[in-house]
Amino acid sequence: MRFRDIKKNKNIKSPNKEPLYVYAKTTDRIKAFITDMFMIYVPILYIITYVFMGGKEAFQESDLAPFIAVSLYGVIYSVLLAKFGQTPGKKAYEIKVINEKDGENLSFFHSYVRFVMFLFSAFSLLGLLVVFYRDDKKSLHDLVCGSLVVVSENKLTSV
């Protein structure tokens, strides 16, 4: 850096700010999602298919049954995020979803909108790839909803 630039206060870089949170690794997020699918979504599908519909043929012929299953999964997912900040999969990998502004758990409405945006991100696939190009590991649904997926305090204290 040149002295004349320093004297005029040009090109002075501000000191690097350390992030307030430790962002969750992408691999842990993927593993948590797969765990949630097996622990929450598969039982919902099983109950709808065999208890309410009477078999897989009736489920496959129905247009409403998959919509009900996804909606029910979204409600359960949102309740867990609103109450605990974690789903069973996220708890297993010690990560948590928080509000970016205040660091608190998301509200039910906020987490349900995040779930709907996740469905859109997964459908477009582009929204899920954003996480690989950002330092804060936010995907499209996190950007839209202002949420962060961070390492929970339990993991930080054990390291």
Distance CA 104, CA 74 (A): 20
The reported pLDDT for the residue numbered 13 is 52
* Residue 95 C-beta-side C-alpha neighbours within 13 Å: 23
**What are the tens digits of pLDDT across the range 40-87?**
999 999 999 999 998 999 999 999 999 999 999 999 999 999 999 999
Domain ranges (residues) in the chain: 19-158
pTM of the model: 0.81
Q: Give me the pLDDT at residue 57, please.
A: 93
Note the pLDDT of residue 131: 85
How would residue 157 be classed by pLDDT, with cut points 50, 70 and 90? Answer: low
